[in-house]
Structure 1
Amino acid sequence: MSKKKCVVFDLDGTLVDSMSGLADIAQKVIQEIYDVSPLWARTQYQQTSGLPFPFQLDKIFPQDSRNSGAVTLFDDLKEKYYVHAPLFEDVKAGLHLLKSEGYHLAVSSNNDQALVSQKIEQFDLHFDMVMGFRPNFLKGADHFRWLFHCLGLLPSDTFMVGDSLHDGRLARQSGVSFVARLGTFSKTDFEKEFPSLCSVSSFEELPLLLAKQDSSEDFVLKRSARPLISL
């Protein structure tokens, strides 16, 4: 097996401890605008997580005239919250270890490109590529194609680390090995789609995990976090 050359990270729920806060905002918006229960609103947000919020609403409430207003309210509340969302404590040390091992590091997020860049700059993180959402440039195939082109990589050179089932699906669709970070979804949730799982207790253990694993396997990176759904 050839050594992997690049690790691509999702942002929210993977590098930034923001998913519970974003779920609180989405729950409030969906509950108020669509007159549904808090638990139902939160569950629907979780089940569609990984997509841009407008795309999530299109799945939850197809062709609903209220969607544009919900997006505007969500974006307003998110902007006020997001600047305060912290980095997970283990991230900086883990990224340093990966960089010292010679990996290219990249961010792939469905947050707006400007917001993603601002968050990376806020924490003084250093990546080879930082990719956010802009028209016709979504996380998944669009981001991977651009990454491979710019860094001269192949899918087989690359790992993706993400916290959502959607992240895993995008990695699989592009032939990229997937590492799931638990918290937004449980190990049981991931096992339903990704039956071959390996776990580590800290982000700092990623270099050893990545060095050992074959590209055909899927892995789970465990972290302590509030569950996205509060019962």
Structure 2
Amino acid sequence: MTEMVVDRLKMIKLVTLDFDGTTADTMPTLEEIAVKLITKYYLLSQEEAKTKYRLTTGLPFLQQIEQLFPGHPANNEVIQQFEEEKKNNIFSLPLFDDTKETIKSLKNMGFIVAISSSTTQPTIEEYCRKKGLFVDQILGFREGFEKGKDHFDFLMKKFHLTTKEILYVGDSLKDCERAQAANILFIGKIGLFTKEDFDRISQSKLVITKLSELTELLKTFREKENK
């Protein structure tokens, strides 16, 4: 771990969590829906569809499809079907086992906790309400306001913070790219991608395998700072 990363960890005041695949165990189901639609409408093999979907995860689904199949006449139908199936399934999908306890621990340590996602805001808010998950701020996708700089700018303004005081935790390479483009420290959550995948683009080289590891990591540096 470089000295720069250590210094940044000591400065963190707000922990921002991705939703799908980081906070909630939704990615296997979402991937299944996406792969089914991509193979049906774009005539790709299951393996090709899975690879393309994974490489663009972290983006809103409509952006994934437009990036993968620009101008294709089936795009609107695919996007509509995906969003309908996602909404029909998502509320039955669980949080990760350690999500609630991790968020509670982070808040007890004095951190502000936010969720920043490419899922639409009403869907995340309803999901969190139904699951009894409470954070300081929920930010979802709407046209012209999305995960990355838009969300980070909102959080900085609301909580009077700088980029150096915000941490973003996500499970996709796009999460990493968007955090770093906004000068936000990033920690990858292994799942869809391996440590080796993240290390190829991550400046921090920090990864966790489960959310609860985040508490121990931040506790270590908070204790060092207070000595």
When normalised by structure 2's length, the TM-score is: 0.89
Structure 1, unaligned runs of 5 or more: 215-231
Q: Alignment partner for residue 116 of structure 1, among 115, 121, 124? A: 124
Kindly provide the amino acid, as one letter, of the partner of residue 202 in structure 2.
F
Q: Is the 8 A contact 1:3 1:211 kept in 2?
A: no
1:128 Cα deviation after fit: 1.0
Question: Secondary structure at the residue paired with 2:116?
Answer: strand
Quote the residue 2:173 is aligned against. 165
**In 1: Cα distance, 2:115 partner to 2:36 partner:** 28
Deviations 1:203-231 (A, max 9, x none): 223223124469xxxxxxxxxxxxxxxxx
Quote the residue 1:57 is aligned against. 65
Deviations 1:85-123 (A, max 9, x none): 110001111111101000000000011111111111121
Q: Is the 8 A contact 2:169 2:189 kept in 1?
A: yes
Question: Secondary structure at the residue paired with 2:71?
Answer: coil
**In 2: Cα distance, 1:158 partner to 1:49 partner:** 22
Quote the residue 2:43 is aligned against. 35
Q: Is the 8 A contact 2:60 2:119 kept in 1?
A: yes
Deviations 1:55-79 (A, max 9, x none): 0011110111110011111112112
Quote the residue 1:223 is aligned against. none
Kindly provide the amino acid, as one letter, of the partner of residue 216 in structure 2.
L
**In 2: Cα distance, 1:129 partner to 1:151 partner:** 10
Q: Alignment partner for residue 6 of structure 1, among 14, 20, 33? A: 14
- Count matched residues: 214
Q: Alignment partner for residue 143 of structure 2, among 129, 135, 138? A: 135
Kindly provide the amino acid, as one letter, of the partner of residue 21 in structure 2.
G
Q: Is the 8 A contact 2:190 2:208 kept in 1?
A: no
Pick closer, same or farther for the CA change 1:53–1:24 going to 2, 3 Å: same
1:196 Cα deviation after fit: 4.9
Q: Which residues in structure 2 correspond to 1:63-74 (within 5 Å)?
A: 63-74=71-82
Kindly provide the amino acid, as one letter, of the partner of residue 113 in structure 2.
L
Quote the residue 2:157 is aligned against. 149
Q: Alignment partner for residue 101 of structure 1, among 97, 109, 130? A: 109
Deviations 1:116-167 (A, max 9, x none): 1111112111111100011210100000001100111111111111001111
Structure 2, unaligned runs of 5 or more: 1-6, 223-227
Seq. identity, % = 34
Kindly provide the amino acid, as one letter, of the partner of residue 83 in structure 1.
F
